[in-house]
Amino acid sequence: MLRCFAFVSFLRFMDVWQQKIFFSSLVFNNFIASNSKTILTMAYQNLKPTKYLHFILPFFNTKRTKEIFNVNPTVLPPREEAAEIGVYVYDYNSTELKEYDLSDVQDCYLFRDNNNKSWINIDGIRKADVENICNHFGIHPLIAEDILSVGQRPKMDEMDDVMFCVMNMLYFMPSGAVESEQVSIVLGKDFVISFQENNKRDVFNSLRDKLKVANSKLRQNKVDYLCYMLIDTIVDHYYLVMEKLGERIEQLEEEIIRVGNTRSLARINSLRKELIVLKRNINPVRDLVNGFIRSESDLLDERTTKYFKDVYDHIVQASDLVENYRDMMINLQDLYMSKVNLRLNEVMKVMTIVTCLLAPATVIGGIFGMNFEVIPLTHQKEGFYVAVGMMLLIPVWMIVTFKKRGWF
């Protein structure tokens, strides 16, 4: 009777507390709903994600991502006027070469019709200078607009007895980034004009050396061969950039195999971004070169067209190499994930083995800890030693068995 009374009292006590808990939770939910904005603001201020995010984000270089994908052809970004401009003219024929370093753009106007072949290289882009040169050499205003535009896709056009192409020179920086510089090339009758954005660097030094060799093939052929050499030199430099990028990929593969930490994943992400830059600048050059091959312009000699086919083969090979690098980066990412999973499996295996080894001790301790009046070996002197011995011998037997089966 007393036990029944105590059980009923316990049920009444639990019912009262259940009502109190329900009422408290209802009040708490109403408070949260009416003050959710304030609570979230306080939580955000207390957490301050920037405390830990600024340690992680630099490894993944999200700023570089914005630079690569911030391309909108409908919105033309403003071009900064060059602080300094350089005008270099190479006036030549098969036997003679004259080099001029001009201080004013207008000084190059004399080389349009002088019965020689001329390469006018302009380092630095200024709107007024580009428009004046295009007006003097009879270059269409649309071409001038393309020269002044930023982030142009490599392409080739024919307008008003001139041929025009725009492409990018690529540079591999010590930081691992691939930088591009837009180069515009205009081919006319007995002249080639090249426009470069940066007056501090280019890839044409080998071409300048060839121009200095008397009776060289470059000096003997028409200016269309010079145009071919400019494009070929840019394409050949792509291989130097890809070679250095390939070395970084090989180093990354060794790093993933040896270490394989979060920094390796960040480097994978970084290199994949640079491969996007390569692909964006190399793949369209195939159509550019193909345009020269199919062109029927009088500015191109039939013999020179054969050389453009050689450039086409090079650019196709470069494009395939970029795809191979891209596949390699996917494989490296899979390798990294496989190594992370393998490491996790090793940890879980060790923890599982430890748990299994402790299980006999837990079972034996639980059996001898039960509240029965009669338990074997409970009131004997050897009982403790037998229990401890079993706790030690069974795990040893388990280790030997696991080892024989090759489980670790």
389: domain CATH number is 1.20.58
219 and 155 both lie in a single domain = yes
Q: Is 125 inside a domain boundary?
A: yes
Residues 6+ apart with CB under 8 A from 69: none
Full strand arrangement of the beta sheet holding 162-172: 97-102, 86-92, 117-123, 191-196, 178-188, 162-172, 155-159
Q: Is the per-residue pLDDT at 110 higher than 90?
A: no
Of the pLDDT bands very low, low, confident and very high (cuts 50, 70, 90), residue 33 is very low
Where does residue 243 fall: left (phi above 0), alpha (psi -120 to 50 degrees), or beta otherwise?
alpha
166-177: pLDDT as tens digits = 999 999 998 888
Sign of CA pseudo-dihedral 369, 371, 377, 381:
positive
Q: How many helices (H) and strands (E) does the chain have?
A: 12, 7
Of the pLDDT bands very low, low, confident and very high (cuts 50, 70, 90), residue 52 is very low
251 and 362 both lie in a single domain = no
190 and 113 both lie in a single domain = yes
Global confidence as pTM: 0.74
15 and 146 both lie in a single domain = no
Tokens describing residue 287: 């159509």
251-264: pLDDT as tens digits = 999 988 888 788 88
Q: Is the per-residue pLDDT at 198 higher than 90?
A: no
User: For the chain, what is the domain count?
Assistant: 3
274-296: pLDDT as tens digits = 999 999 999 999 999 999 999 88
The DSSP secondary-structure symbol of 197 reads S
Range of the domain at 20: 8-47
Q: How far apart are CA 17 and CA 38, in angstroms?
A: 31
The DSSP secondary-structure symbol of 254 reads H
296 and 359 both lie in a single domain = no
Q: 């050689």: which residue's tokens?
A: 310
276 and 372 both lie in a single domain = no
CA 247 to chain centre: 15
172 and 240 both lie in a single domain = yes
Q: How far apart are CA 61 and CA 273, in angstroms?
A: 10
User: What are the C-alpha distances in Å from 75 to residues 72, 123, 126, 155, 323?
Assistant: 6, 25, 20, 19, 30
Of the pLDDT bands very low, low, confident and very high (cuts 50, 70, 90), residue 80 is confident
Q: Is 381 inside a domain boundary?
A: yes
Give the chain's mean pLDDT.
81
CATH of the domain at 242: 3.30.460.20
In the prediction, which pLDDT does 354 show? Answer: 87
In the prediction, which pLDDT does 6 show? Answer: 44
Is there a contact between 322 and 275 (Cβ–Cβ < 8 Å)? yes
177 and 242 both lie in a single domain = yes
Q: Is the per-residue pLDDT at 406 higher than 60?
A: yes
Residues 6+ apart with CB under 8 A from 189: 161, 299
Q: How far apart are CA 42 and CA 279, in angstroms?
A: 46
202 and 262 both lie in a single domain = yes
198 and 317 both lie in a single domain = yes
236 and 382 both lie in a single domain = no
